[in-house]
Amino acid sequence: MKRLFLAILILWAVNLYAQFETTDVGARPTALGGAFTSLSDNSLAIFYNPAGLGQVKYREFSAFYSPAPFGLTDLSTASLSYSEPLSFGTIGAAIKTYGFELYKENNIIFSYGNSYKKKIYYGANLNLYNLHIQNYENATAFGIDIGTMAYIAKFLQWGFFGKNITGTKIGESKEKIAQVYRTGLTFQPENNIRITGEIEKDIKYPISVRSGLEYNVIDFLDLRFGVGSQPTIFSAGIGINYNLFSLDYAITKSEDLGFTHLGTISVNFGGIKGKKESRERLNKSFD
């Protein structure tokens, strides 16, 4: 019976999430409904828009873990990300894993982001994809992502992300790795309020629309809410900031699959000061 269940689970995973389909990474972006393309102001920009790395002023490490998406531990997802600002731009690296011992996807990413006059940002990812299915040979492939971002006004910024623009395929069956395009806006009426919205188009699926709200209540506390379509999701989360450390938690409700809990721990060497600078960056760029 266990063998039958695992076989069904693998088939379900392959049909829904195989070949590195796009899934949200990090509690903060997830709490915002996944609408993070035009915001991407920390090391998680590697997954959402590498152009956002050009906004990062301080070294950061982040660790993310979703132990049992929709109650299934065999579909666990985890990631580590790192960003390092240098004189010629910001470099980043990340690793993401999805699955369990019978079916595992590993994605290693090397990133770069920079800006032109602190108003136009650009970046790219080099991906190494590795797919392991028990009793089959491992498969490896390489792909490229690109991103751009622009500060349009004191209260508005725009972002675009193209995942796997090379149309990379993997394995003997030449299955195409997910090719996804996103674009969106971040509206910031006040330094402590951000409203994000975007559309996403995976070339294999219908257009998805996402939106989120982030409210910085006080220096060490953020509240977040989000909603998305295709599939329909509702999300919420909280961020607690202390000195160099941030702890983010998110919960999402899928109309079809139920609830998922996830968390992220980050270390940002700018501390609370760095977070304030991040919130004020959009306005200051037009001063």
- For the residues of 200-251, what is the DSSP string, one character each? EEETTS--EEEEEEEEEEETTEEEEEEEETTTTEEEEEEEEEETTEEEEEEE
State residue 14's pLDDT score: 45
State residue 195's pLDDT score: 98
Averaged pLDDT for residues 77-85: 96
What is the domain extent for residue 93?
Answer: 2-284
Here the CATH number for the domain that contains residue 84 is 2.40.160.60
User: Which residue's entry shows tokens 């699959």?
Assistant: 257
Q: Categorise residue 42: left if φ over 0, alpha if ψ from -120 to 50, beta otherwise.
A: beta
State residue 240's pLDDT score: 96
How far, in whole angstroms, is CA 39 from its chain's centroid? 11
Q: How do beta strands 89-100 and 156-163 pair?
A: unpaired
State residue 213's pLDDT score: 98
Residue 227 — pLDDT band, cuts 50, 70, 90?
A: very high
Residue 272: strand, helix, or coil: helix
pLDDT of 1 strictly over 90: no
Q: Are 173 and 14 in contact (CB under 8 A)?
A: no
On the CB side of 108, how many CA atoms lie within 13 Å of its CA?
6
- Number of domains present in the structure of the chain: 1
Averaged pLDDT for residues 268-279: 85
pLDDT of 241 strictly over 80: yes
pLDDT of 103 strictly over 50: yes
State residue 19's pLDDT score: 67
pLDDT of 121 strictly over 50: yes
pLDDT of 13 strictly over 80: no
Residues 140 and 180: their CA atoms lie apart, in Å, by 20
State residue 176's pLDDT score: 86
Structure pTM? 0.90
